[in-house]
Each structure stands twice: as C-alpha cells, then as structure tokens.
Amino acid sequence: MATATAPAAPTVVTTDPGVAPSDIPEGVSECCLRGFLHEGTPAGSVIKVGGLDTYLATSEAGETDKAVVLIHDVFGWGIPNPRLIADRIAKDGGYRVYVPDFFNGDAPNVGLLEKFLTKPKSFMDRLSATGSMFLGAPSFMAWLGRHRDEATVPLLDAVFKDLRENHGVKRIGAIGYCWGGRYVVLAGIRGLADVIVPTHPSQINIDEDIPKVLDKPTLYCLSETDNRFPPESVAKTKALYAATPGGSKAEFITYPGTEHGFAVRGDLMDDVARKAALKAVADQIAFFKTHL
C-alpha cells in the first residue's frame, strides 16, 4: 500500500508551566494545547469518504464489513499521531480504520500553534509567547467557531452514510479523542455509529447528550487528571448509566498517572504515558471485538 505523507506539523512539546491557563484563549484549556508528536511513518493511504480527505489504514486479513472511524483532536488528521493509532488498530484488530479530515482542509494555523506549544527558554521568550497568545486568540477562537456542531455534524452524516452505502460497511465503531469526544457521542446519538469510544473527551453536555446514548455500547477511556472531563463529570455520567433500566452497556477505564490527551498525544518517552497509550488501544480493540 502506498505510504501517505503527513502534512507539515507543528513542533509539539509540553507547554511552559510559566504560562498560566488564563493566558489561553477562552474555551480552550492549557491541556488542550500541549502534547507530543509521535515518531513513525504511517503505512496507510488517503482516499475520499463523504467528500473529505480520509486516511485509511487496513489489514490484509481484516474485517470486510466492520470499520472504525477515528475522530481526531484539535490538532487535526494530518499529524502522524492519529494515523499511527489507526495503523495499530488495523494491524492488531483487523479493522479498516478511517481518519477523516473533519476540519475539511481548515486545520489550525501551524504558526500559531507553534507559538502556543513551543516551550520558552527565557523570560523574554515567555513574554513573547504570552503576547502571541493574546494576539492570536481572536483568530484561534474564530477558527474554533468554524468547527462547531453546525459545521461538523453534516460532515459526520456524510462520512458514515458514505461508508455504509459505498464502502461495504455494515457496522461501525467510532473513537473520538478530546475535541472528537463530543462528535463520537453525537455519532452515537444520531445512530451513525454502533459502538462508541469517547477518549479523554471534551465538550460533552452530560445532561443533554449522555441520556441519548445509554443504550449504545460505550467505552470511556479516561485520564486520571482532566479538567475537560473531571471526576465530578465522570461520577455524574456513571450515575446516569447505573440508573438505566436493565443495566448499563458502558464501561469506564481510568488510566493512572495520565492527563488529558495522553492517548493521542502523550509523551511516549515517559514510561507511564507510553504504557497507558498502548493499553488504551488494546482496550479499544477488545471492546470492539466484544460489541462490534
């Protein structure tokens, strides 16, 4: 299979702890704008699904009528991280794995993200980075505004419809990381996905969204520390499932020593983060084997 070349990506390193969360644009937490690029060469190809450029990872001995859709985080589909995860799920799980570009060619500005994510080396560097955050906030927030439900949900519908109608797919599992966590839940609500896996998700409205997917097989892969889906949100979500007549179809796995973003952009040089990320993929595959 032809090797897909990922677009140029920002250098992603841990955000300087001297930059306070209050310096981050409203609606985006510090943990959303930090992480690590993963090394490796994706082995899949790029095709069109639902009108979107889509990375496809396959396994020669894999399923032909079952597939996994991976919904990327705020860094988009083009960096190696989600593609390498898709490759692993295809290899170890035997599924076709699709990673559509749900930003539809409008990925975050690389230069702006570099300013957010490059660790300052001195006080003046830190001052410059903080100033860049304030100056860049309006354009970054405008970008976020272009990728809310009104824009993203029609893309979800188009991708899942195309897979079922034109790609021979009968059952679909969906994984959503961070930003994608909300949209994997909406895919469940809309009957697009048969099995859903929100992974350290953000933007989920527990009161409105969760009651609509209580009957959907769901695996929550959760960070131990996460201000986007904190312990009180986890407890509230578990309570909703526990009160479901006939029992719950949800499983919750919290990975000790991890924080928001660990499964898709964690530091793979860190032993705890690496093992947690690998276990998350294994847990996702096992859940799909049972429910998909």
pLDDT tens for each residue of 36-50: 666 778 989 999 999
Q: Which residues pair with 176 in a beta bridge?
A: 71, 198
| Side-chain-side CA neighbours of residue 266 (13 Å) | 27
* Angle between helix 110-117 and helix 123-145 axes, rounded to 10 deg: 140
265/262 Cα distance (integer angstroms): 6
State the fold for domain 39-108+155-291. Rossmann fold (3.40.50)
Which one is predicted more confidently, 290 or 226? 290
pLDDT of residue 35: 59
pLDDT score of 3 more than 50: no
- pLDDT tens for each residue of 84-137: 999 999 999 999 999 999 999 887 754 544 454 444 455 445 445 444 544 455
- pTM for the model: 0.81
Query: How does pLDDT run across 212-242, given as a tens digit for each residue?
Result: 999 999 999 999 988 889 999 999 999 999 9
The pLDDT, as a whole number, for residue 80 is: 86
Assign residue 76 a region: left if phi > 0, alpha if psi is -120 to 50, beta otherwise? left
The pLDDT of residue 221: 96
In this predicted structure, the answer to whether residue 76 has a pLDDT above a threshold of 70 is: yes
Please report, for the chain, the start and end positions of each structural domain, with discontinuous segments joined by +.
Answer: 39-108+155-291
Question: What are the start-end ranges of the H helices in 32-178?
Answer: 80-93, 110-117, 123-145, 149-166
Query: What's the pLDDT at 37?
Result: 66
Mean pLDDT of 160-183: 96
The highest-confidence range among 69-78, 119-128, 142-151, 239-248, by mean pLDDT, is: 69-78
